[in-house]
Amino acid sequence: MAEDDPREQLETLYWWGVPTFFRCEHDEDPAGADIGVLGIPHSAGNGSTERDQHLGPRAVRHVSAHNRRPHRTYGLSAFESYRVRDLGDVALPEAMDNEACVDRIAAHTRRVAEAGTRLVSIGGDHAITGAVLLGLAGPGSPLTADGPVALVHLDAHVDSYAQIPHWLGAKRSAAHWAAYLVEAGCIDPTRSTQIGMRGQPRTETWLDTSRQLGYSVITMEDVRARGIPDVVAEARERAGGMPVYLTFDLDCLDPAVAPAVSNLEVGEGGFAIDEANAIVRGLRGLDVVGADVVCLMPTKDDRAQRTAMVAGHVAYEQVSLIADRLATR
């Protein structure tokens, strides 16, 4: 620590200073960033749970300075090597209207794609993934050369329920995005992998919607039987050289690790944090153009803000994964 710089020792203390993501510079222009971190305070896409997932970005900002660190596995500090910027929050004045919010988020992330900036988004319910990818990928996106992404999806649920016309009123909802993005040309399901699905299903055909679209669906039971290295190898092989998008629903984690999530599955164990880290780090070298962390419920978190800290850690892993790709490109 430089004795003439009293700020240096304080930079990684979450309770000090202005709470931007990871203590990064706040710059809403994506052209000023190599990696942008975007808050998406959205709750209208998952009406089956309490509508406070819009509080997630603020909760993660509050604790995320703790994660402004070099990454031991990659041997770099994203924050020192690249322009990682807090892009602020998407403005959602029709906050209770999911369809209007999806359009606004998509327009916002299209500007990010046009700037050539790689993006980590923090939600918000899982409907934000659909909205982000409508702008970030597919036809008209320079970030993916007008093509789709290969999706790596960590979750307890498949979110591809196209057979349901709407989810409590939301049509492009947290339950629909993995299906409608295929039709929109934003995801290639034949190159995509869904990992960690678990819990007691509502129907015997609960995985069919994804498998019929072409996704590889690897349940938590499959993960335990096969082992994480084999699962990661499949996800890597399917993605190949395509642009990759990583979406991380916090309910893929065991409730003991992340208790404050929107759709808890408590009847079967989820990932430990080391297992989740192994999957994310196992994607090293793939062309990850974007990622997100979703479904944090700050009002259900404990006094230590444990789930918010876990969400901040996952976003840190995603930022570092993208920075490592930029370093080796």
> Which run of H or E residues covers position 132?
helix 127-136
Backbone φ, ψ for residue 26 (5° rounding)? -90, 115
Distance CA(14)–CA(98), nearest Å, equals 32
DSSP state of 287: E
CA distances from 183 to 106, 133, 160, 178, 215 (A): 16, 12, 12, 10, 13
pLDDT at 162: 83
Distance CA(91)–CA(28), nearest Å, equals 12
Query: Does residue 3 form part of some domain?
Result: no
Query: Does residue 312 form part of some domain?
Result: yes
Read off the tokens for 257: 């690790």
pLDDT at 3: 59
pLDDT at 44: 86
Q: Tell me whether strands 118-123 and 287-294 are parallel, antiparallel or unpaired.
A: parallel
pLDDT at 175: 79
Read off the tokens for 114: 């046009």
pLDDT at 10: 81
pLDDT at 168: 72
Secondary-structure percent of the chain, ordered helix, strand, coil, rounded to 5: 40, 20, 40
pLDDT at 19: 93
pLDDT at 192: 98
Read off the tokens for 157: 């649920």
Look up the pTM and report it.
Answer: 0.95
Tens of pLDDT, residue by residue, the chain (329 residues): 455 677 777 877 878 888 999 999 999 999 999 999 999 999 988 877 677 999 999 999 999 999 999 999 999 999 999 999 999 999 999 999 999 999 999 999 999 999 999 999 999 999 999 999 999 999 999 999 999 999 999 999 998 988 888 777 777 877 799 999 999 999 999 999 999 999 877 788 889 999 999 999 999 999 999 999 999 999 999 999 999 999 999 999 999 999 999 889 999 999 999 999 999 999 999 999 999 999 999 999 999 999 999 999 999 999 999 999 999 97
Looking at the structure of the chain, the number of domains it has is 1
Residue 18 belongs to what domain range? 8-328
pLDDT at 16: 83
Query: Does residue 2 form part of some domain?
Result: no
pLDDT at 132: 98
Query: Does residue 1 form part of some domain?
Result: no
Instruction: Give the CATH number, domain containing residue 23.
Output: 3.40.800.10
